[in-house]
Amino acid sequence: MTTAFVFPGQGSAAVGMGATLFAAEPKVDEYFAKVSAVLGRDLKAITLAGPEEELVATENAQPAIFALAAACLDLFRERCPVAPDYAAGHSLGEYTALYAAGALSFDDAATLVCRRGQFIADACAEKPGTMAAVAGLEDAAVEEICGEATAAALVVPANYNMPGQVVVSGTEAGVARAGELARQRGGKFIPLKVSGAFHSPLVAAAAERMKEALRAFMINPPTGIFIANASGKAASQPEVIRDLLYKQIARPVRWSETMERMAAGDVEAVVEFGHGRVLTNMFKKVKSDAQIFNVSDEVSLASAADACRRFAL
């Protein structure tokens, strides 16, 4: 089967995630220990015990999500040594996708993720903002709303998640105004619990710091097809990937285009690694006959490995 491996972003963090894997698989401790050494604090303790406000802080959430997703990936590959035809990750998840595709080593990806989380946290502290999901409107309508609202205060499309769902990002006033306009047009508006205006000009300083950081790390050509957030298209040349990685911090995530690209490539099975099923559930709405799997705990790991054998992923 044509397969895609996908990896979640910052919104997937939850206290206690991966608890059964920690209990059953000593290898998970190794991944968290390595990332903790880079981060300078006990990431396992924060992940398992919280408190929630500490785990979901950008500088902790991003490394924790990466560590768990990478551990899930490698545990799965021990049982099912298959290379995906496609690899993609939502925002932060792009780094795990590049690790899965052999473009980044684990150590380099861990270091970059820790730096990225801190850079974004610093930028959000300097220029506060927020985000909200707009549902039930076409992309063009949301873009028009953002353009109109920005006359008063900044707000931009941040995540093109799927048809009929776009997340907007900006100042508190800008996002609130976008909400008013969205409701007037018959859309739904759902404020998100986030620590800043991700994927907007308000975090441009983080993008510039990441651009400098990325220069020091080796990026290899990915195996299979890697689809980049900033373009929604395949990227294979290391310098192109490096450029897109820094740009995606302050640009929208084109996840809808990513899913369309995978569907056009006749992807038959999608495996999501890490806590939650957000990405696989979205893909199912794009391609209803796709087989979807999640690897987040001991039960789902065993189930996905069994599916690997049955479906010859």
The verdict on whether omega for the bond into residue 51 sits within 30 degrees of 0, i.e. cis, is yes
Catalytic residues: 91, 199
Spatial contact of 222 and 101, defined as CB atoms under 8 Å apart: yes
Q: Please report, in angstroms and rounded to a whole number, the separation of the first and last CA atoms in the chain.
A: 5
Each residue of 256-272: pLDDT tens digit?
999 999 999 999 999 99
Short-list 145, 144, 116, CA closest to 250: 116
SS3 225: strand
Domains and CATH numbers, the chain: 3-125+201-311 (3.40.366.10), 129-191 (3.30.70.250)
What's the whole-number mean pLDDT along residues 7-16? 94
Summarize pLDDT for 151-189 with one digit per residue, the tens: 999 999 999 999 999 999 999 999 999 999 999 999 999
The pLDDT tens digits for 42-71 are: 999 999 999 999 999 999 999 999 999 999
Number of C-beta neighbours around residue 41 at 10 A: 12
Alpha-carbon distance 183 to 136, whole Å?
10
Global pTM reads 0.96
At 60, list the tokens. 């902790």
Q: What is the mean pLDDT of residues 188-192?
A: 97
Q: How many CB atoms lie within 10 A of CB 70?
A: 26
